[in-house]
Chains A and B, each alone.
Chain A
Amino acid sequence: MTFEDERYEKISKIIELVDQSEISSIQSVVSGVIDVINDPQSSAKDLKDIIEIDPPLTAKVLKVANSAYYYSLKKISEIQHAVIWIGFDVVKEIALSQKVCEVFEQDETVSGYSGRSLWKHSIAVALLGKMICRREFGERGENAYAAGLLHDIGIIVENQFLEKEFTDILHKTEQEKINLSKAESEVLGYTHTDIGKMLTEHWSFPEELVVAIGNHHHPDKAPQEFSRFASILYIADYLCQERGIGYSDAPYFDPGVFRGCLKRLDIKAYALDLIVNDMEEEISKMEGQGLFQYDKSNK
């Protein structure tokens, strides 16, 4: 058995466990929303149907839609109204983030890591990725948003199904002052990006997302057709860690890869600075609205 095969076997076993766990419960809604994003024929009704079969999600979406963050003028009590008053795209985003958030909420705090801090990081990457797409390229950036939310899902899986190893890995990063991926490779023989790639592949997500999540530490290794998208995710991830927003799995940066990405995308550093500033403002606004609060007591 080759090293590759062995790694594949190991991760497959974990994915089997994931399939029977709470994490898999997000799959149908998340892939449903991603399908809506990627299907130009889809309508607000499709989105409404996906959200409404999940009553807790519906409640959460409506709660967020009614928060001051979205300036809704009218009390929104139906997904359909939310689509009208705050927009189809915004509702997609809320549905996606609220659903993905469910699995982050379950994570316990382990030396320096918590579900909450990883969630803050993920939503910042999602927001930043989307903003880069919109402002620099005039694209809607909805997949970048989804990729940002889910890029570190492998860490969640490790924390829940490889509890002991994950604690060891976190200790190792602290003691040896190394990035998470390096410690993961040493302890497990694979990293959270491998888990993320296989899991999203298993969930039949669009290839663009699978590749970007699998290569979010090595965008240069992504196939040509997806390298642009993988680079955007990398840049967003990199900048959020540089600014110290939420959890950081790679505090020891590699400016070489980053510069390569900037070149590939033809983006100027000062342009990114402008975007990151706005993103940070958004994040603090969201925090002000209590949108990061975990309602553990309500569960």
Chain B
Amino acid sequence: MTNRISNKRIEEIKKENLILETKVKHLINDLQLTKKENEISTKNYFEIYSSMERKVEERTRQVEELQRQYQRAQRLESIGTLAGGIAHNFNNLLMGIQGNASLMLEEIHSGHPHFEKLKTIQKLVRNGSRLTRQLLGYAREGRYEIKAVSLNHLVRETSDTFSTTRKEIRIHRELDDDLYAIEADQGQIEQVLLNLYVNAAEAMPQGGKLLLKTMNATHQDMKDKCYKPKPGNYVLLSLTDTGVGMDRRTMDRIFEPFFTSRGMGKGTGLGLASVYGTVKAHGGYIDVYSEKGNGATFEIYLPAIGMKPRKEKSEITDIMKGKEMVLLVDDEDVVADVGGEMLRKLSYEVLVARSGKEAIKTYESRWTKIDLVILDMIMPDMNGGEVYDRIKKINPHAKILLSSGYSRDGQAADIMERGCDGFIQKPFSLKVLSESIRKLLEKRNDRLS
């Protein structure tokens, strides 16, 4: 009896044991699989995590680069303001010197003992004004003579001229025949090109190769840049030299005025600064790529227009006189005096106003007699823009020639856009003044006839 019970109990225990063994087997199998799956999940997790980390690093780098660019732009901006201010005052001084020298030259013969000295003064003024033009270019101003031009044409002409002066530099050109035209100030773009050639030449004192390439581009080609280009077509000019190259620190500051890596006394340090300013003023972008010892590449993008460039007629060169009445408005005594005398020299009847208010008063009372107003942009009491509007209100057909050494906030460009008739950059010579006036007055006659 006891035996049978214990036998039965043994059977039961055996059976329970079997089930427990199965359960253990099931659990072990399941756990092992779960462990494997966890390992895969962990692997997945780290893969995703590390790719996210890479993304964060990349973004951080981009942000840092943008901040650097922004700081650089700000620095350039403030230096530009300073440079522009200096240029403004300097130009007015030059105007006085230029005007007085012009007048003296008119009164003497070429045999006069002072003739050559006066010519030298004029030449020096021209050199001085070239310097201020570069400063103005840097300050992103003075973009007034805009027309459709062919960049290829400018590159060909300037590089031909340049290569005759620097034989040790071989220039290669790869110019796209179907290049779009650009809307630009030809003189300024020529200056940009020459400055870049000079810069390249200075990087290759032992001679070397300069590759000039042009091609069409769109804003999409520029999407990897740090800046955000305005959508549209662009013309790309790239200049690659085989010179000494530069390091990152130099590259960061290369467009700053008076910054030079070539020691004081060599060059003005304004060349690339004015390149930068001019390109910006034309709505373009400029990039530089370089490595120490490995040459440098400058890339310039200028907005393209869908127009073919037009051939310009050559300018008339003689001094032309006239009998019309001219109102000269300028708050600077030196300019007003010398300007008035220059006009009289050209046989014009001259009225001078030394402030905006005075100009309006004079114009109001005598506007039927006044054929032309030469108007300074920046005056303390009333700025050129306001005077311009008031005069146009009195007489919508008034002919106004803007004159300026520099306009800090683009007022001149503003007024030009409103339909002003002409612009003359101070300092101006007798010849330039006479041309500007005739061009304007004859334009009126054309329209009336």
Contact = CB atoms under 8 A, between A and B. Distances in A.
- Decide whether A and B are members of one complex: yes
B28 to A, nearest CB: 8
Given A87-B37, A140-B33, A135 B25 contact: yes
A89 B40 CA distance: 9
Contacts of A87: 37-38, 40-41
A114 interface: no
B29 A135 contact: yes
Nearest to A80: B48
Nearest to A132: B26
A271 B41 contact: no
Interface string A229-270: 000000000000000000000000000000000000000101
A136 B25 CA distance: 8
B71 interface: no
Contacts of B294: none
Contact of A137 (B18, B29, B38, B45): B29
A270 B19 contact: yes
A83 B18 contact: no
B23 A270 contact: no
Given A134-B33, A135-B30, A271-B26, 14 more contacts: A43-B44, A43-B47, A44-B44, A44-B48, A80-B48, A84-B45, A87-B40, A88-B37, A135-B26, A135-B29, A137-B29, A268-B22, A274-B22, A274-B26
Nearest to B32: A138
Interface of A: 43-44, 80, 83-84, 87-89, 134-140, 268, 270-271, 274-275
Q: Which 4 pairs of residues, A with B, have the shortest CB-CB distance?
A: A135-B26, A138-B29, A271-B22, A44-B44
Considering residues A134, A135, A275, which has the most beta carbons from chain B within 10 angstroms of its beta carbon? A135
A87 B22 CA distance: 27
20 contacts: A44-B44, A83-B41, A83-B44, A84-B41, A84-B44, A84-B48, A87-B41, A88-B40, A134-B29, A134-B33, A135-B25, A138-B32, A139-B33, A140-B33, A268-B18, A270-B22, A271-B22, A271-B26, A274-B22, A274-B26
Contacts of B29: 134-138
Contacts of B40: 87-89
Contact of B37 (A84, A89, A136): A89
A137 B25 CA distance: 9
Contacts of B45: 84
A88 B44 contact: yes
Given A270-B19, A274-B19, A274-B22, A88 B33 contact: no
Contacts of A268: 18, 22
A270 B30 CA distance: 18
Contacts of B22: 268, 270-271, 274
A184 to B, nearest CB: 36
Contact of B18 (A89, A135, A140, A270): A270
A27 B309 CA distance: 61
A136 B26 contact: yes
A274 B48 CA distance: 39
A139 B45 CA distance: 23
Nearest to B29: A138
Interface string B150-167: 000000000000000000
A135 B26 CA distance: 4
A65 B98 CA distance: 84
Contacts of A135: 25-26, 29-30
A140 B35 CA distance: 12
A89 B39 CA distance: 12
A137 B33 CA distance: 11
Given A84-B41, A88-B41, A89-B37, A274 B32 contact: no
A80 B44 CA distance: 9
A77 to B, nearest CB: 14
B23 A274 contact: yes
A232 to B, nearest CB: 14
A134 B38 CA distance: 15
Contacts of A44: 44, 47-48
A171 to B, nearest CB: 42
Nearest to B27: A135
B109 to A, nearest CB: 90
Contacts of A80: 48
A68 B305 CA distance: 63
Interface string B303-327: 0000000000000000000000000
A139 B36 CA distance: 11
A256 B47 CA distance: 51
Nearest to A85: B41
